[in-house]
Amino acid sequence: MSNLDLWVKRVHQLVDFGLLRMAALIMSMAAAGLVVWEPTLFAQAIGGFGPVISPALIWATCTAMIFGVGFVPHRWYWQVFFTPYFALPILSYIMWLRLFY
């Protein structure tokens, strides 16, 4: 194991607890459900599906789902790509736009 691999594992242990996983899973399932159920209404609520927010929504939803079910990728670069440190704030912002904006 390389030093980089150990560092990435150590950094991800800080957010590895059940309540945050459950919140990530619920947010990702809610976002996916809202997009599938009525995409035009969801798009209107968040200001439209633009070239930035659409990939961010897809990536954040997938990353939160991966984190929420407890899957940990084996390679360090996939752990960095699917990190909850960036995905959860992005998904929280999009859900905040949907609920309160």
Residue 80 has pLDDT above 80, yes or no: yes
pLDDT of residue 51: 96
Average pLDDT over residues 77-95: 96
pLDDT of residue 65: 97
Residue 1 has pLDDT above 80, yes or no: no
Residue 90 has pLDDT above 80, yes or no: yes
Sketch the domain layout of the chain as residue ranges. Answer: 3-100
Phi, psi of 75 (to 5 degrees): -85, 145
Q: How confident is the model at residue 78 (pLDDT cuts 50, 70, 90)?
A: very high
Q: What would the 3-class secondary structure string for 29-61 be?
A: HHHHHHHHHCHHHHHHHHCCCCCCHHHHHHHHH
pTM of the entire predicted model: 0.92
